[in-house]
Structure 1
Amino acid sequence: MALSATTIREFAEASLPDSDLFLVDVTVSDSAVRPKVTVLADGEQGITIDQCATLSRRISKKIEEKYGEELSYTIEVSSPGVDFPLTQPKQFIRNIGRNLKLKLQDGTEKTGKLEEVTETGINLTEEIKQKGKKATYEPVQIPFGEIVKANVVISFK
């Protein structure tokens, strides 16, 4: 019986050690020999190594209970890296004040400062660049449903 991402997600949801933590992504590699389970979790204040370890132990226990102790797999529980796209409204909230690069359903891209997160989407101060002119900034509202991909823009200034 193969491990499924859906089952692991259920195990992970039930295993979150603290109420402010939430799942970002769950994947299971296709390897039949030793599948790799990857769980990305985050929290409103971030996630600690101890919280990752607790989550890993709890998920492993549930896997053993369902699939038996002889199942061979690896498990990795961590926070999403800075290059991982924002997918949850709670992740957007943690990044208010930072610059985001968005790819929208219609194929356009927008870059700007995340000002506010509402129940239905985000408010962004979009940076509009024109050749030979100074950039201008306009407030825009973007519903979550229009966002295909959202990444934090890392600045080293």
Structure 2
Amino acid sequence: MAEASLPENDLFIVDVAVSDSAVRPKITVLADGEQGITIDQCATISRRVNAKIAETYGEEVSYVLEVSSPGVDFPLTQPQQYKRNIGRSLKLKMQDGSEKIGKLEEVTETGLNLTQEIKQKGKKATYEPVQIPFGEIVKANVVISFK
């Protein structure tokens, strides 16, 4: 329903979550776009999803619907999100439990090209290019810098 409710082609669904409350479940739809997403676009998605829910389950169904963009603390999950963050630092949690921090240089069909920061005790950090397949990434967050 959420995918079918997108008002423009450059928008995409990042996540849909439904709380397990039987009384009045909360449906959270996170959407984004190549150039970000506006409040008006979120409102359009909300109206369309509401209409589809009413059409499918009837007018009397009780729920709370929230449509918004993912915050800066929300992990990157879609290739389009990575593309919007080229040039920024990312913190990646890998399948093997390790972490990688580095600057996102490029997004390919299969993964990321990252300039990884290598820290060594007592020495200045060095940087090396690495290619990371999407399948090896468990979680990816943008590192917010206030410099």
TM-score, length-scaled by structure 1: 0.93
Q: 2:110 maps to what in 1?
A: 120
Over the aligned positions, Cα root-mean-square deviation in angstroms equals 0.4
Write the distance in 2 (CA, Å) between the matches of 1:50 and 1:60. 15
Q: List structure 1 segments (4+ residues) > 4 angstroms apart after TM superposition.
A: none
1:63 aligns with 2:56: no
Q: 1:145 maps to what in 2?
A: 135
Write the distance in 1 (CA, Å) between the matches of 2:8 and 2:141. 26
1:109 aligns with 2:124: no
**Identical columns (%):** 84
1:50 aligns with 2:50: no
Gaps of 5+ in 1: 1-10
**1:1-157 map, 5 Å:** 11-157=1-147
CA-CA distance at 1:27 after TM superposition: 0.4
Write the distance in 2 (CA, Å) between the matches of 1:55 and 1:46. 14
Tell me the number of residue pairs that the alignment of Structure 1 and Structure 2 aligns.
Answer: 147
Write the distance in 2 (CA, Å) between the matches of 1:116 and 1:29. 36
CA-CA distance at 1:114 after TM superposition: 0.1
Gaps of 5+ in 2: none
TM-score, length-scaled by structure 2: 0.99
